[in-house]
Amino acid sequence: MEKTFNAAEAEARISNAWESAGAFRAGANAKDGMPAYSIMIPPPNVTGVLHVGHAFNNTLQDVLTRWHRMRGYDTLWQPGTDHAGIATQMVVERELARTQQPSRRELGREKFLEKVWDWKEQSGGTIREQLKRLGASCDWSREAFTMRGAPGDPAPEEGPNFHEAVIKVFVDMYEKGYIYRGKRLVNWDPHFETAISDLEVENIDTAGHMWHFKYPLAGGATYEYVEKDADGNVTLRETRDYISIATTRPETMLGDGAVAVHPDDARYAPIVGTLCEIPVGPKEHRRLIPIITDDYPDPEFGSGAVKITGAHDFNDYGVAKRGNIPCYRLMDTKAHLRDDGLPYAEAAAVAQAVANGERSLTETEADALNLVPDHLRGLDRFAAREKVIAEITEEGLAVMTRADDPILGKAALKPDADGADAPVPLVEAKTITQPYGDRSKVVIEPMLTDQWFVDTAKIVEPALEAVRTGRTRIMPEQHRKVYFHWLENIEPWTISRQLWWGHQIPVWYGFDLGRHGFRDDEGDGALDEVELLRLLDAQTLLKGDERHHSAADFEAVAAQFADVLAGLPTPLNRARVIEVADRNAAAHALADSLADYNLSQDPTHLVYPVWRDPDVLDTWFSSGLWPIGTLGWPEDTPELQRYFPTSTLVSGFDIIFFWVARMMMMQLAVVDDIPFKDVYVHALVRDEKGRKMSKSIGNVLDPLELVDEYGADAVRFTLTAMAAMGRDLKLSKDRIQGYRNFGTKLWNAARFAEMNDCKPVDGFDPAAVQQTVNRWIVGETARARLAHDEALEAYRFNDAANGLYAYVWGTVCDWYLEFAKPLFASGDAAVIAETRATMAWVIDQCLILLHPTMPFITEELWAEIADRPKMLVHADWPTYGDGLIDAAADREMRWVIGLIEEIRSVRQQMHVPAGLKVQLLQLELDAAGQAAFETNRAMIDRLARLSDVTAVEAMPKGAVTVAVEGGTFGLPIADLIDVDEEKARLEKVLGKLAKELGGLRGRLNNPKFAESAPEEVVEETRHNLAAREEEEAKIKAALDRLNEIG
RNA sequence: GGGUGGUUAGCUCAGUUGGUAGAGCGCUUCGUUUACACCGAAGAUGUCGGGGGUUCGAGUCCCUCACCACCCACCA
In 3D space, the residue among A296, A247, A299 whose CA is nearest the CA of residue A268 turns out to be A299
Residue A1029 CA to nucleotide B24 C1', Å? 34
Amino acid identity of residue A1002, one-letter, is G
Q: How long, in residues, is chain A?
A: 1046
Whether omega for the bond prior to residue A645 falls within 30 degrees of 0, making it cis, is yes
Strand residues in A63-200 grouped as ranges (E) = 74-78, 80-81, 144-145, 179-189, 194-196
pLDDT tens, residue by residue, A103-149: 888 989 999 999 999 999 888 888 899 999 999 999 999 999 999 99
Residue A575 CA to nucleotide B2 C1', Å? 58
Distance CA A472, CA A465 (A): 9
**pLDDT given at position A524:** 52
**pLDDT given at position A525:** 47
Q: Give the count of beta carbons closer than 10 Å to the beta carbon of residue A664.
A: 28
Q: What percent of chain A has pLDDT over 90?
A: 48
**pLDDT given at position A530:** 53
Nearest nt by C1' to A912 Cα: B30
- Name the helix (H) or strand (E) containing A227: strand A223-228
pLDDT tens, residue by residue, A495-539: 999 999 999 999 999 988 766 555 555 545 455 555 555 555 666
- The arrangement of strands across the sheet holding A179-189 comes to A194-196, A179-189, A445-454, A493-494
Furthest C-alpha separation in chain A: 134
Is the model more confident about A505 or about A361? A505
Residue A854 CA to nucleotide B60 C1', Å? 33
Residues A704, A133: contact at Cβ < 8 Å? Answer: yes
**pLDDT given at position A458:** 92
Residue A1021 CA to nucleotide B37 C1', Å? 43
- Of A304-313, A361-370, A523-532, the poorest mean pLDDT is in A523-532
Nearest nt by C1' to A684 Cα: B70
- A179 forms beta bridges with A454
Region A567-574 average pLDDT: 77
**pLDDT given at position A863:** 94
Q: At what angle do helices A829-850 and A855-865 cross, to 10 degrees?
A: 150
SS3 A424: coil
Confidence band, pLDDT 50/70/90 cuts, at residue A541: low
Is the model more confident about A612 or about A356? A612
Residue nearest to nucleotide B38 (CA to C1'): A741
Is the model more confident about A655 or about A875? A875
Query: Which 8-state DSSP code applies to residue A492?
Result: P
Region of A611 (left: φ > 0; alpha: ψ -120 to 50; beta: rest) is beta
Residue A769 has pLDDT above 90, yes or no: yes
Residues A541, A591: contact at Cβ < 8 Å? Answer: yes
Q: Residue A386 to residues A250, A308, A430: CA-CA distances in angstroms?
A: 8, 20, 17
Residue A892 has pLDDT above 60, yes or no: yes
**pLDDT given at position A531:** 58
Query: Which 8-state DSSP code applies to residue A816?
Result: I
| ipTM of predicted assembly, 2 dp | 0.94
Confidence band, pLDDT 50/70/90 cuts, at residue A566: confident
Nearest nt by C1' to A824 Cα: B34
Region A615-623 average pLDDT: 95
Residue nearest to nucleotide B71 (CA to C1'): A482
Burial of A767 (0-12, 13-18, 19+ CB in 10 A): exposed
Residue A218 CA to nucleotide B57 C1', Å? 78
Is the model more confident about A250 or about A415? A250
Residue nearest to nucleotide B12 (CA to C1'): A730
Q: Give the count of beta carbons closer than 10 Å to the beta carbon of residue A96.
A: 18
Residue A790 CA to nucleotide B52 C1', Å? 39
Residue A417 has pLDDT above 70, yes or no: no
Long-range contacts of A285-289 (CB under 8 A, 24+ apart): A285/A344, A285/A345, A285/A348, A285/A349, A285/A373, A287/A256, A287/A348, A287/A351, A287/A352, A287/A355, A287/A371, A288/A218, A288/A352, A288/A355, A288/A356, A289/A256, A289/A257, A289/A258, A289/A259, A289/A355
SS3 A806: helix
Residues A609, A1: contact at Cβ < 8 Å? Answer: no
Q: Please, which residues have CB within 8 angstroms of residue A698's CB and are 6 or more apart in sequence?
A: none
Distance CA A77, CA A993 (A): 55
Strand B: which nucleotides have any atom within 7 A of a protein Cβ? 3-6, 12-16, 19-20, 23-26, 29-43, 55-57, 69-76
- The arrangement of strands across the sheet holding A967-972 comes to A946-951, A918-925, A967-972, A959-964
- Name the helix (H) or strand (E) containing A437: strand A427-437
Radius of gyration of chain A (CA): 40
Residue nearest to nucleotide B2 (CA to C1'): A485
Distance CA A558, CA A570 (A): 18
Distance CA A837, CA A820 (A): 11
Distance CA A638, CA A633 (A): 10
Distance CA A303, CA A202 (A): 29
Q: At what angle do helices A126-134 and A703-710 cross, to 10 degrees?
A: 40
Residues A1025, A1004: contact at Cβ < 8 Å? Answer: yes
Residue A408 has pLDDT above 70, yes or no: no
- Of A358-372, A481-495, A513-527, A598-612, the poorest mean pLDDT is in A513-527
Residue nearest to nucleotide B29 (CA to C1'): A908
Residue A401 has pLDDT above 80, yes or no: no
Residues A16, A135: contact at Cβ < 8 Å? Answer: no
Residue A942 CA to nucleotide B53 C1', Å? 56
Residue nearest to nucleotide B37 (CA to C1'): A741
Residue A431 CA to nucleotide B72 C1', Å? 19
Q: Give the count of beta carbons closer than 10 Å to the beta carbon of residue A186.
A: 25
Mean pLDDT computed over every residue of chain A = 87
Distance CA A549, CA A897 (A): 79
Residues A130, A15: contact at Cβ < 8 Å? Answer: no
Q: Please, which residues have CB within 8 angstroms of residue A758's CB and are 6 or more apart in sequence?
A: A835, A836, A837, A839, A840, A843
Helices (H), A240-341: 314-323
Nearest nt by C1' to A897 Cα: B41
Nearest nt by C1' to A262 Cα: B76
Residue A1003 CA to nucleotide B54 C1', Å? 18
Residue A690 CA to nucleotide B66 C1', Å? 22
In 3D space, the residue among A43, A84, A92, A158 whose CA is nearest the CA of residue A502 turns out to be A84
Query: Which 8-state DSSP code applies to residue A430?
Result: E
Residues A148, A159: contact at Cβ < 8 Å? Answer: yes
Region A601-605 average pLDDT: 80
Nearest nt by C1' to A809 Cα: B36
pLDDT tens, residue by residue, A933-989: 999 999 999 999 998 898 888 888 778 888 888 888 988 876 666 677 777 777 777
Q: Please, which residues have CB within 8 angstroms of residue A688's CB and are 6 or more apart in sequence?
A: A730, A731, A732
Region A788-811 average pLDDT: 92
